[in-house]
Chains A and B, each alone.
Chain A
Amino acid sequence: MRFLLVEDSDELAKAVAMRLALDGHGVDRAATLSEAAEFLESAPYDLILLDISLPDGDGRDFLARERMARRDTPVIMMTASASVSDRISTLDRGADDYITKPFDFAELQARCRAVLRRHAGAADSRRHFAGFTFDALAATLTVGDEVRELRARELRLLEILLSRPGQTYSKPHLIDRLFSFDEEVSDNAIEVYIGRLRRKLEGSGARLETLRGVGYRLIPE
């Protein structure tokens, strides 16, 4: 997926872009609204992450202009003020969702996925690996003719493993990306989801391998 991140705090933008890149998304960064407009003219994007207060104007006005011009790339507003009036006015002006700073990455990813799913069709979200097809937006795994539904954490787990097939992910790493930091989670919690995903992957030609004391990886059989 290709994202455009419009955020004037350079450090924050860099960090967010880096984190999104970790999930396999391509992210372009714009620090001002005019820069954002240039990016939007030069390339198509799947999703725009738009800050409200930018040096050359209000993100909401920019959004309103985009919608007036009938460009309907999904937009998630990022707001620091979190006041209700901000939230409501962003949705009124055509934003697909909003997220309040500071945000969890898990939350940002969840919101991005929800927005992208609502706009499904605009982008091809399918991936092929070994003997199965994975559709992140539809939350399905297709093995042969059989479509298997994935629950949120199974999907998230598969997404992570698929972003770099063959690489070993440690339990703590997977926990960080699967659970919110607000929750106290034991290291064993991940095993439940590994077990479930393993069953969904049965007969798919891919195998979820446990490397004792190290972690897990997804490999073709």
Chain B
Amino acid sequence: MRTPIAANPAGFSLRRRLVWQFVALSVVLVIVLFFAVRLVAERASRASQDAVLGAAVISVSDGIRPVEDGLEFDLPYAAFSMLGAMGNERIFYSLSLGRRLVSGYEDLPPPPEQPTDLSPIFYNGEYNDSALRLAAVTRRVLLDDAMQEVTVVLGQTRNGQAAIARETARSAAWVGFGFLLLVVPMALLAARAVIGPVDLLTGAVTRRGPQDLRPVRHPAPRELLPLVGALNGFIARLRATLQLTETFIFEAAHRIRTPLSLVKVEAEIALSETSEDETRARLRRMLRAISESSRSASQILDHATVLYRSEQFEPAPVDLAALASTVLRSVEPLAEMREVEIVPQGLSAPCVVPGDSRMLEVALRNILDNALKYSHDEGRIQVHLRQVDGQAKLTVMDEGRGLVQDDKHLLGRFQRGSNVADVVGSGLGLTIVEEAALAHGGRFTLTPGEEKGTCATLSLPLASS
């Protein structure tokens, strides 16, 4: 399986980032909400306390009457019962004539400024370790033939108010916590909805075959269109370069082959005409080198063909049995030259796979070529085609020198076994087979034969009926 290569190992997850941002934003919102609710609750409870306190202080000051020998006043019960309604609060008062305390509690915090009339001044203060809300009014009375100012201060503890604020804040906190609990799954959902199209697009590009260079046509969100466009532009450039390379390789191989065949023929003739050992050895070396280069040229071409065709892969029904028979027939004369016997099995019944006949021809020929190359003279190659588990399995078993255990990379380009230095080869053949197999969604494996030799297996998925 291929895994997409991360563009940058330090890349970040858009999804995670989205979720975190949703959550962080919500936390901030909840905190702001909490404080706002607390503030408003405090204000509201203070306003209601002030209203009651104001009315009470005014009605207390109303009850002040000058009498002959001083002041007389009633504490109006209505006012105090109003104050009592606000909860379990304690109430303090003081009545001063000018700066002199006439009645009530000493040391009540004085108002920040001296009130001048009956409109109350509200303020906070401390008394006996309790926080108080206080209201003060001033009233003028005629006493001893002079207008004198009587100041009434009424204070009330703030326990009830604090309790209300605490209660409200706690409710606000619970609401916020619940909200946060809801936000996490919602953020995940929202992130998925946003990232979904990106994932689909990634999947569509990742699932492609190794040589699939068609433009990406998968639907993408508008914001991603520039990226898809850039990707397609890149693919188009890559494709153009590949095509140019292929044309070049075809042309180059053609140009090299014709003069090479002349060199080869001349060398063979020279070899048959000379009896001098040194010259003969030299000519043989030359012929070997020519074989090697022409084989490489063929395989480079085959490779280009496979790359090109897997890029434009359009599977059609291919009878693998018939194709294998054709390839066997063309390899037969070569096998016969070395008295290698090719034993086919299972090639008489058709075995249809969806595929590209030319790619498969190249693959089969390279497998057989390889088996033949490493077979001993008078050896045997068994070609066996069968259908197992929805797969067409073609095994080619030779009796050659087999695999060296440590040679694990034989399928890589230009890789050759460590025990084959004396045989002409480019190391591309098996790569070609593997690439053709992969393009068909199949597999190619090389395993050591049971007793000797190598077993090459090409598995291709059969058409799903």
Q: Nearest A residue to B258 by beta-carbon distance? A: A80
Which residues of chain A are within 8 angstroms of B266 by Cβ–Cβ distance?
15
Chain B positions 400 through 432: 1 when the CB is less than 8 Å from some CB of chain A, otherwise 0: 000000000000000000000011100000000
Which residues of chain A are within 8 angstroms of B291 by Cβ–Cβ distance?
104, 181-182
Q: Nearest B residue to A187 by beta-carbon distance? A: B277
Which residues of chain B are within 8 angstroms of A110 by Cβ–Cβ distance?
333-334, 336-337
Instruction: Say whether A163 faces chain B, with CB atoms less than 8 Å apart.
Output: no
Q: Which one of A12, A152, A183 lies within 8 Å of B262 (CB-CB)?
A: A12
Task: Give Cα distance in the complex from A125 to B257, angstroms.
Answer: 33
CB pair A102–B264 under 8 Å, yes or no, is: yes
Rounded to whole Å, the gap between the CB of B35 and the closest CB of chain A is 77
Q: Which one of B258, B302, B337, B357 lies within 8 Å of A180 (CB-CB)?
A: B337
Q: Given A82-B253, A101-B261, are A172 and B269 also a contact pair (CB < 8 Å)?
A: no
Which residues of chain A are within 8 angstroms of B424 by Cβ–Cβ distance?
182
CB pair A84–B305 under 8 Å, yes or no, is: yes
Chosen A-B contacts, 14 in total, with CB atoms closer than 8 Å, are A16-B265, A19-B265, A81-B250, A84-B305, A88-B361, A97-B330, A97-B333, A101-B260, A102-B257, A102-B290, A103-B261, A104-B264, A182-B288, A182-B423
Q: Nearest B residue to A156 by beta-carbon distance? A: B337
Which residues of chain A are within 8 angstroms of B275 by Cβ–Cβ distance?
170, 172-173
Task: Give Cα distance in the complex from A82 to B288, angstroms.
Answer: 19
CB pair B333–A107 under 8 Å, yes or no, is: yes
Which residues of chain B are within 8 angstroms of A98 by Cβ–Cβ distance?
330
Task: Give Cα distance in the complex from A19 to B261, angstroms.
Answer: 13
Listed in ascending order, the chain B residues whose CB lies under 8 Å from chain A are 250, 253-254, 257-258, 260-266, 268-269, 271-272, 275, 277, 280, 284, 287-288, 290-291, 294, 297-298, 301-302, 305, 326, 330, 332-334, 336-339, 357-359, 361-362, 373, 422-424
Q: Given A88-B357, A88-B358, are A106 and B262 also a contact pair (CB < 8 Å)?
A: no
Task: Give Cα distance in the complex from A152 to B264, angstroms.
Answer: 24
CB pair A9–B258 under 8 Å, yes or no, is: yes
Q: Nearest B residue to A12 by beta-carbon distance? A: B262
CB pair B257–A82 under 8 Å, yes or no, is: yes
CB pair B261–A12 under 8 Å, yes or no, is: yes
Instruction: Say whether A87 faces chain B, with CB atoms less than 8 Å apart.
Output: yes
Give how many A residues have a beta carbon under 8 Å from the other chain's beta carbons.
44
Which residues of chain B are within 8 angstroms of A85 by Cβ–Cβ distance?
305, 358
**Top-8 shortest CB links A-B:** A102-B261, A110-B333, A101-B261, A15-B265, A181-B287, A102-B264, A114-B333, A80-B257
Which residues of chain B are within 8 angstroms of A101 by Cβ–Cβ distance?
257-258, 260-261, 294
Rounded to whole Å, the gap between the CB of A78 and the closest CB of chain B is 8
CB pair A102–B361 under 8 Å, yes or no, is: no
Instruction: Say whether A145 faces chain B, with CB atoms less than 8 Å apart.
Output: no
| Interface SS of A by simple majority | helix
Q: Given A98-B330, A182-B424, are A105 and B268 also a contact pair (CB < 8 Å)?
A: yes
Task: Give Cα distance in the complex from A17 to B431, angstroms.
Answer: 37
Which residues of chain A are within 8 angstroms of B260 by Cβ–Cβ distance?
101-102
Which residues of chain A are within 8 angstroms of B265 by Cβ–Cβ distance?
12, 15-16, 19, 102, 105
Q: Given A102-B260, A105-B268, are A81 and B253 also a contact pair (CB < 8 Å)?
A: yes
Q: Which one of A82, A84, A181 lies within 8 Å of B361 (CB-CB)?
A: A84
Q: Given A18-B269, A103-B264, are A114 and B258 also a contact pair (CB < 8 Å)?
A: no
Instruction: Say whether A113 faces chain B, with CB atoms less than 8 Å apart.
Output: yes
Q: Nearest A residue to B304 by beta-carbon distance? A: A83
Task: Give Cα distance in the complex from A87 to B287, angstroms.
Answer: 24
Task: Give Cα distance in the complex from A19 to B280, angstroms.
Answer: 17
Instruction: Say whether A184 faces chain B, with CB atoms less than 8 Å apart.
Output: yes
Task: Give Cα distance in the complex from A102 to B416, angstroms.
Answer: 23
Instruction: Say whether A207 faces chain B, with CB atoms less than 8 Å apart.
Output: no
Task: Give Cα distance in the complex from A97 to B326, angstroms.
Answer: 10
CB pair B305–A83 under 8 Å, yes or no, is: yes
CB pair A173–B272 under 8 Å, yes or no, is: yes
Which residues of chain A are within 8 angstroms of B284 by Cβ–Cβ distance?
181
Known: A107-B334, A110-B334. 15 other contacts (CB 8 A): A12-B262, A15-B266, A15-B269, A80-B258, A100-B298, A102-B265, A104-B264, A152-B338, A170-B275, A172-B277, A173-B275, A176-B272, A176-B280, A181-B288, A182-B423
Task: Give Cα distance in the complex from A177 to B337, angstroms.
Answer: 10
Instruction: Say whether A164 faces chain B, with CB atoms less than 8 Å apart.
Output: no
Q: Nearest A residue to B275 by beta-carbon distance? A: A170
CB pair B301–A83 under 8 Å, yes or no, is: yes
Task: Give Cα distance in the complex from A170 to B265, angstroms.
Answer: 21
Which residues of chain B are within 8 angstroms of A65 by Cβ–Cβ distance?
none
Q: Nearest A residue to B360 by beta-carbon distance? A: A84
Q: Which of B269, B290, B337 has the most CB of A within 10 A?
A: B337
Instruction: Say whether A146 faces chain B, with CB atoms less than 8 Å apart.
Output: no
CB pair B337–A106 under 8 Å, yes or no, is: yes
CB pair A82–B297 under 8 Å, yes or no, is: yes
Q: Nearest A residue to B280 by beta-carbon distance? A: A172
Q: Nearest B residue to A106 by beta-carbon distance? A: B337
Q: Which one of A19, A103, A151, A172 lies within 8 Å of B339 (CB-CB)?
A: A151
